[in-house]
A and B are shown apart, each in its own frame.
Chain A
Amino acid sequence: MTDREDDSVSRPLPPYGPAIHDAIASNDLQQMKAVAEGARKALYQVDFGPVPAERYGEVKEALEALDAAIIRLDRTGGTDG
């Protein structure tokens, strides 16, 4: 038996399927978007304290890099879910 076969087949069965937690945990793209969203909130002072001025450029640059990577991933077939 392979490792793949050992894994649970997280296939929706009637009448209910997997939990939201599993959907998020198994989705790279969704996790990346969550990280980007967290950074956006931090940069723009939504919900959280501001990013210190000396770190603003670093976080903003990292966020832009991730946004670009997400766009590329989307274009190359990143399944969202």
Chain B
Amino acid sequence: MGDAGGRARPARPNRYLSGPDVRGHQLVHAVWELTLACNLKCRHCGSRAGSVRPEEMTTQECLGVVRQLHELGAREVTLIGGEAYLRKDWVEIVRSISDAGMECTLQTGAWQLTGTRIAQAADAGLVACGVSIDGLAPLHDHLRGRPGSFDAAIDALGRLREHGIRTSVNTQITAAVIPQLRDLFREFLATGVRNWQVQLTVAMGRAADNHDLLMQPYQMNELMPLLAELHAAGVAKGLLLQPGNNIGYFGPYEAQLRGSGTASMHWAGCFAGRNVLGIEADGTIKGCPSLPTVTYAGGNVRDSSIAEIWASASQLSFARKSRGKEMWGFCASCYYADVCEGGCTWTSHSLLGRPGNNPYCHYRASELKKQGKRERVVRRLPAPGTSFDHGRFEIVVEPDPDTAGEHRAAGASPQERSRPGPPPAPGDAGSHLPSLVLCRACDCHVFAGTDFCPHCGADVPASQREYESALADARHAASRLARAIGSLGPELPATTTPRA
């Protein structure tokens, strides 16, 4: 998460993954719904939070879960809800997580997150807190079902920082918030926010009921350049915008948004059950807290140990192996299919009833736009009304009114062209480590060894050489200027020292 406002560089977050973590499917991060009780009534809530679940775990059972997570090697536990602090024993659970040597973090709507609660949590070892803010005040309050909830969230951010708790803001991307993102950015800058994560609202739970809230897939062509603009502006001003796991995939902004400046970073498939697990308040275990419970519940801590579920439940291990057979629709023949594996499982399964085809993809939307097409989703079946449920939507492909008559001449699209290197053998998901390289001519990723970019036609090695030459010159010029400024006196701004 972000920082507490101090100037000292904090330690790397525990959730950062090493190569061995990725290859060995090491559990790193557990996201734990402590209770389904909630004091907000969010119109997009996937879990339909409000009342407690039947049979929520006792304090002793929760402490047992903490012990098991520690024994499994988890490094971070994020408490969610509902609203986690509505459990009377939540501070005891925070303390037990911290005492076990794991980082304890919280995700909250911050309604009635009082000073007392914050102080108790800080004392117990809570290190970071993400606060949900889904739009400017009128939109946020409308979505959250509480007048004043926006102000409460902003206020909580300041009070959390005062107690030394690192903060971040999480924003759900609905259709309504897209035009507000620039204003929201300015609001966050003014209130000292340093980390801002965005993720798409998914057609689950109440969001499936209120499906007019959802943005349409073709709007990825509008959203992604806007996020890239805000990312660049944010880094310059000290606010890091980060894409959640259902924002992507590939296209010219992947390296910027997902890599935070590291060109080799890119999406490498769904994390569910690979390094993350989700725990529901009644002890149900899933590979990701957001997945539909009916399909992805791998067991319950009351029946089996978490280690046993993690090791053997197919509902958790599905993303550890090759998912090629799951791919369908556009994703099945996509250039990035072997690496992307259909993006976020939660998003595609909630929408279409099974994973492997995800219309909420920038690369896909942009390729369709080049062909003069766009995709919309239309609800065909409602959700039944249970926690983490979903309905059924259908993808409608239609002419894009913005590109009528402009689409490119017929030719092979990237997904129709061959790519170098053999595909992974069945059952082998590869390393799930980033493996693509960036075409410097168009900023899109390509497979290593590609001579000519399938997206823009450029000579990939030549554009990389030109980039490296320009980078070396720029580093030299920056060093020269830094020396010139630095020699003027200590009061003048050397700011940062570029790497030689």
Residue ID in chain A nearest B3 by CB atoms: A19
Residues of A in contact with B, size category: 35 or more
Q: CB distance B260 to A22 under 8 Å?
A: yes
How distant is the Cα of A23 from the Cα of B496 in the complex, in angstroms?
A: 13
Given contacts A11-B258, A18-B242, contact A48 B474 (CB under 8 A): no
Q: Report A-chain residues with C-beta under 8 Å of the C-beta of B195.
A: 16-17, 19-20
Complex Cα–Cα for A14 and B247 (A): 12
Give bound CA distance, A26 to B463, whole Å. 21
**Distance between Cα atoms of A69 and B363 in the complex (Å):** 30
- The answer to whether B261 touches A26 (Cβ under 8 A) is yes
Query: Complex: how many Å from CA A49 to CA B490?
Result: 11
What does the 1/0 interface line of A48-63 toward B look like (CB < 8 Å)? 1101100100110011
- Whether A29 and B17, one on each chain, are in contact in the complex, defined by CB atoms closer than 8 angstroms, is no
Which of B238, B261, B438, B481 is within 8 Å of A36, CB to CB?
B481
In the assembled complex, the Cα of A4 lies from the Cα of B16 at a distance in Å of: 14
Q: Which residues of B contact A47 (CB under 8 A)?
A: 493
Is the beta-carbon distance between A63 and B276 smaller than 8 angstroms?
no
| Per-position 1/0 for B461-500, Cβ under 8 A of A | 0010011011101111110111011001101111111110
Q: Which residue of B238, B441, B478, B492 is within 8 Å of A42 (Cβ)?
A: B492
Are A18 and B493 in contact, with the CB atoms below 8 A? Answer: no
Is B285 in the interface zone, CB < 8 Å from A? no
* B205 cross-chain contacts in A, Cβ below 8 A: none
Taking CB atoms, residues of chain B closer than 8 Å to A4 are 19
On whether A11 and B17 interact (CB within 8 A), knowing A21-B10, A42-B485, A79-B263, the answer reads yes
B349 close to chain A: CB less than 8 A:
no
Q: Is the CB of A19 within 8 A of B240?
A: yes
Partner of B484, one of A15, A21, A31, A55: A55
Q: Is the CB of B17 within 8 A of A13?
A: yes
Q: Which bucket holds chain B's interface residue count?
A: 35 or more
CA of A13 to CA of B497, assembled, Å: 29
A1 touches B258 (CB 8 A): no
Interface of B (DSSP majority class): mixed
Residues of A within 8 A of B480 (CB): 62, 65-66
Name the prevailing secondary structure of the A interface residues.
helix
Contacts of A37 in B (CB 8 A): 495
In the assembled complex, which residues on chain A have CB atoms less than 8 Å from the CB atom of B488?
Answer: 42, 51-52, 55, 59
- In the assembly, what is the distance between CA of A20 and CA of B3, in Å? 8
Q: Which residues of A contact B48 (CB under 8 A)?
A: none
* Segment of B146-154, B228-236, B406-414 engaged in the interface with chain A: B228-236
Chain B residues with Cβ under 8 A from A66's Cβ? 474, 477-478, 480-481
Known contacts A12-B242, A19-B240, A79-B261; A65/B477 CB under 8 A: yes
| A63 CB contacts on chain B under 8 angstroms | 481
Q: A31-B496, A31-B498, A34-B495 are in contact. Are A9 and B485 (CB under 8 A)?
A: no
Complex Cα distance A28/B255, Å?
Answer: 14
Per the bound structure, the CA–CA distance linking A28 and B235 in Å amounts to: 12
Q: With A16-B195, A20-B194 in contact, do A10 and B265 touch (Cβ < 8 Å)? A: yes
Q: Does B239 contact A (CB under 8 A)?
A: yes
Residues of A within 8 A of B275 (CB): 13
CA A6 to CA B17, docked complex, whole Å? 10
In the bound complex, CA of A8 to CA of B485 (Å)? 34
Q: Which 3 A-B pairs have the closest CB atoms?
A: A77-B440, A27-B261, A5-B19
A interface list, Cβ under 8 A from B: 1, 4-24, 26-39, 41-42, 47-49, 51-52, 55, 58-59, 62-63, 65-66, 68-70, 72-73, 75-81
Sampled A-B contacts (25; CB under 8 Å): A13-B28, A13-B29, A14-B29, A15-B130, A19-B3, A20-B3, A21-B3, A24-B496, A27-B262, A28-B498, A29-B474, A31-B478, A34-B495, A35-B495, A36-B481, A39-B485, A41-B493, A48-B492, A51-B492, A59-B481, A62-B480, A66-B481, A78-B471, A79-B263, A81-B261
Apart from A20-B238, A35-B485, 6 more pairs, CB < 8 Å: A8-B16, A15-B107, A19-B3, A32-B478, A55-B488, A73-B470
